[in-house]
Amino acid sequence: MGLLWSLVLCVLAQAACCRAESPPQQALSSLPLLSRGCHDSDVLAVSGLALQSINRDQKDGYVLELNRVHDVWEHRQDSQGSLFYLTLDVLETSCHVLSRKEWKDCSPRTLHESVYGQCKAMFYFNKPKRILYLPAYNCTLRPVSRRGIHNMCPDCPSPSSTDLSDLRVLEAATESLAKYNSKSTLKQYSLDKVTRASTQWVVGPAYFVEYLIRESPCTKSQASSCSLKSSDSMPVGLCQGSLTQAHTEKFVSVTCDFFKSQIQAPGGENSTVNQGSGSLPRVEQPLQENTTSSSSPQETVPVGSVQHLPELDDEKPNGSQEKDHQEAFPVQLNLTTNAQGNTLHSLGFQQEKLVVLPFPKEQHSAECPGPARVTSHLVLPP
């Protein structure tokens, strides 16, 4: 009987050793990626959260909105969470990223001023542990084809330079801002930079501009003797101005939207000045964090960028759709290394490890791409 018990204990000890030497990463890495439907409700929710994280990471440019989910893969982890590999078709909105607005709260652009593109992102979602994490992303954007817009709307505004090389653009920005300052009760503002500009013939040449403003050290009473140079502060708002020349008359309008740090426009001035009419600036609530967890990732800064490319020519050779797609939106996302060249085969958390696989290169799901919010072919990547 003693010999029998010795054999049983030996077998149990060997089984325990085998279990201890089998890393969970090896078993997990052999699991395949699951192709998901691009219109599934949970996929849309994860895509929206990923895009929100991308927007939060930006310091310049406009908030991106989700037009459609182009492709999605899911890698279920051993920690009850999933690592999603997302390809998202996106559009620029009218909100600047410094406003910190959520993309669903931003107004879409009209078709003739659209900027569209594609983002690839890796997003980790663990509902039981309340973890949302964006380790890596890359986006490529292009302005809508002017040729395509002209064929549909010959009289629509045409894009203009924003580097102030066009003196009429600078004039539209400075004169519209001067009008805003003249209506303010206390504070004065200075031009930071022009972010968008376009021109159109109305009753004469008309210029439309969007520009960031900073709070000036000048007050209303000092306006005549103080130089309105920018202070060291960050931009506090985004203005939309226009200047239309009709014979000997000029028509100037301006609307300014202050960012969430501004409870209201300082001094109590109106945010809108359009031939004498105005309204109070919108009060923005702080963007709420979706999760707070003790299992937050050790690396909280995602690796990614948003790249702006020139407009894409409409004319494409026949039979070269795949090549054209790669050239039109060369979104590269290598999820096996980070910016320092370190291997990312696993991402460390305080209580778990994530397995990272190479980003899928081919679309396999019959349910992708999903339905688009804006269906024009001019803003849908192939």
Domain residue spans in the chain? 33-144+328-356, 154-219+235-258
**Which range, of 112-116, 178-182, 260-264, averages the lowest pLDDT?**
260-264
Euclidean distance between CA atoms 267 and 184, whole angstroms: 7
Token pair 């920690």 is found at: 79
The mean pLDDT of 133-143, rounded to a whole number, is 92
β 158-159/131-143 pair status: unpaired
pLDDT of 267 over the 50 cut: no
Euclidean distance between CA atoms 300 and 294, whole angstroms: 13
Each residue of 210-265: pLDDT tens digit?
999 999 887 776 655 566 555 567 899 999 999 998 888 899 999 999 998 644 44
The mean pLDDT of 293-309, rounded to a whole number, is 64
Q: Give me the percent of the chain exceeding a pLDDT of 90.
A: 44
- How many other C-beta atoms lie within 10 A of the C-beta of residue 272? 18
Greater model confidence, 327 or 81 = 81
- How many other C-beta atoms lie within 10 A of the C-beta of residue 214? 20
Greater model confidence, 271 or 64 = 64
Q: Do domains 33-144+328-356 and 154-219+235-258 have the same CATH topology?
A: yes
Q: Which residues of 341-370 are buried (b: 16+ CB within 10 A; e: fewer)?
A: eeebeebebeebbbbbbebbeeeeeeebbb
Torsion of the alpha carbons at 337, 338, 342 and 347, rounded to the nearest 10: -90
pLDDT of 167 over the 50 cut: yes
Q: How is domain 154-219+235-258 classified at the architecture level of CATH?
A: Roll (3.10)
pLDDT of 80 reads 78
The pLDDT-based confidence of 354 (bands split at 50, 70, 90) is confident
Torsion of the alpha carbons at 323, 325, 326 and 332, rounded to the nearest 10: -160
Q: Are 95 and 101 in contact (CB under 8 A)?
A: yes
β 249-258/237-246 pair status: antiparallel
Token pair 């089998």 is found at: 22
pLDDT of 152 over the 70 cut: yes
pLDDT of 148 over the 60 cut: yes
Question: In Å, how far are 45, 93, 94, 168, 196 from 110, measured between CA atoms?
Answer: 25, 9, 10, 23, 14
pLDDT of 288 over the 60 cut: no
The mean pLDDT of 280-293, rounded to a whole number, is 31
pLDDT of 67 over the 70 cut: yes
pLDDT of 325 reads 55
pLDDT of 238 reads 97
Instruction: Kindly tell me the sign of the dihedral angle through the C-alpha atoms of 176, 181, 185, 188.
Output: positive
Token pair 């203005």 is found at: 239
pLDDT of 8 over the 50 cut: no
CA gyration radius, the chain: 27
pLDDT of 122 over the 90 cut: yes
pLDDT of 277 over the 50 cut: no
- How many other C-beta atoms lie within 10 A of the C-beta of residue 41? 8
Beta bridge partners of 159: 198
Greater model confidence, 80 or 289 = 80
pLDDT of 370 reads 94
The pLDDT-based confidence of 344 (bands split at 50, 70, 90) is very low
Instruction: Kindly tell me the sign of the dihedral angle through the C-alpha atoms of 214, 217, 221, 226.
Output: negative
The mean pLDDT of 349-377, rounded to a whole number, is 80
Alpha helices in the chain (DSSP H): 2-21, 24-29, 41-56, 146-152, 167-183, 321-328
Q: Which residues of 133-160 are buried (b: 16+ CB within 10 A; e: fewer)?
A: bbbbbbbbbbbbbeebbeeeeeeebebb
pLDDT of 101 over the 60 cut: yes
pLDDT of 31 reads 52
Euclidean distance between CA atoms 82 and 356, whole angstroms: 11
Q: Which of 244, 264, 268 is nearest to 254 (CA)?
A: 244
The mean pLDDT of 10-28, rounded to a whole number, is 38
Question: Chain-wide mean pLDDT for the chain?
Answer: 76
pLDDT of 323 over the 50 cut: no
Instruction: Give the burial class of 36: count Cβ atoms within 10 A of its Cβ; 0-12 exposed, 13-18 middle, 19 or more buried.
Output: buried
Q: Does domain 33-144+328-356 have CATH number 3.10.450.10?
A: yes
